[in-house]
């Protein structure tokens, strides 16, 4: 009898703890939602789309070099300029912008969601505090934003990778005709796992944006300190561009091996051209 009562009491305590935990998570999410600002979504979306439209040819060349393994099934290039000239000669401007549609969708959505989540998480973390966030807190906030964004956009990146790795110049012989055709075919032949190829290395890859934003926030704070201004003061456009470029170079240098691995993982499929 005593044992039964004890078990019932323990079960009641466990249920109460579970209810409190569930309530705590819900309350945290509601509190986080108060910090969501859709202008951050619009800013990230605009920046992602514009930069992609300008730089897509370089991204295409980077991906082709990342999966280059010496196989004769793939064209061999002597360098970046040779790669660009070869694609231009065979396919013209259309070849250099192969896969641009999912890249625009992916970059726009990724940066839009990323800025939305990152600034909301950062504001939530700093709520009620007078002190600035530490480098580690910026790193964690950026990583959390990256994971949420990846869950929403991974299928678009798989589609983009498959499209830019179609080497055949004859459109009629290409496996995928466009973004929607690729999405439908990947889902039809490989299911949800096919659309989420590269997701696990992608999780590790959230360190790329996390390192970039941690470095960016630190450099911005140091620049304002050098100018003897409050840490959240606005900088000049040139200062923002310089700080963003330096932080990006640092993140790329640290995480490039992951980028190559994820690209190769996303490429895997039957009968790719």
Q: Among 113-122, 130-139, 165-174, 218-227, where is mean pLDDT lowest?
A: 165-174
Average pLDDT over residues 180-200: 90
Spatial separation of the C-alpha atoms in residues 187 and 202, rounded to whole Å: 19
Which tens digits make up the pLDDT trace of 66-117? 666 555 556 677 778 888 888 888 888 888 888 888 888 888 999 999 999 9
Domain boundaries, the chain: 1-33, 36-267
Domain 36-267 top-level CATH class = mainly alpha
pTM, two decimals, is 0.72
Spatial separation of the C-alpha atoms in residues 223 and 237, rounded to whole Å: 13
Q: Regarding predicted confidence, which is higher, 90 or 213? A: 213
DSSP 134: P
Spatial separation of the C-alpha atoms in residues 120 and 31, rounded to whole Å: 10
Beta carbons within 8 Å of 214's beta carbon, 6+ residues apart:
135, 138, 139, 142
Q: Regarding predicted confidence, which is higher, 26 or 203? A: 203
pLDDT of 255 over the 90 cut: no
Which tens digits make up the pLDDT trace of 108-143? 999 999 999 999 999 999 888 888 888 899 999 999
Determine contact, residues 210/139, Cβ cutoff 8 Å.
yes
Out of 146-150, 160-164, 263-267, give the one with best mean pLDDT.
Answer: 146-150
């Amino acid at each position: 009898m005593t044992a039964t009562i004890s078990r019932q009491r323990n079960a009641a305590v466990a249920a109460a703890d579970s209810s409190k935990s569930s309530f705590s998570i819900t309350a945290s999410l509601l509190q986080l939602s108060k910090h969501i600002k859709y202008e951050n979504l619009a800013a990230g979306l605009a920046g992602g789309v514009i930069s992609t439209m300008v730089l897509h040819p370089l991204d295409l060349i980077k991906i082709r070099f990342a999966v280059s393994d010496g196989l004769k099934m793939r064209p061999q290039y002597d360098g970046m300029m040779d790669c660009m000239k070869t694609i231009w000669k065979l396919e013209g401007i259309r070849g250099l912008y192969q896969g641009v549609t999912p890249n625009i969708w992916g970059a726009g959505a990724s940066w839009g969601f990323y800025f939305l989540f990152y600034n909301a998480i950062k504001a939530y973390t700093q709520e009620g505090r007078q002190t600035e966030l530490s480098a580690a807190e910026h790193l964690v906030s950026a990583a959390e934003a990256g994971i949420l964004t990846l869950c929403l956009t991974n299928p678009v990146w798989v589609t983009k990778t498959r499209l830019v790795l179609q080497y055949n110049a004859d459109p009629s012989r290409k496996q995928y005709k466009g973004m929607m055709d690729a999405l439908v075919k990947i889902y039809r032949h490989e299911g949800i796992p096919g659309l989420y190829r590269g997701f696990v290395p992608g999780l590790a890859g959230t360190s790329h944006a996390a390192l970039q934003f941690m470095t960016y926030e630190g450099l911005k704070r140091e620049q304002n300190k050098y100018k003897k201004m409050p840490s959240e003061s606005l900088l000049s456009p040139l200062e923002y561009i310089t700080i963003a470029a330096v932080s990006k170079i640092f993140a790329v240098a640290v995480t490039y091996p992951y980028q190559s691995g994820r690209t190769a993982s996303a490429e895997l499929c039957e009968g790719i051209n």
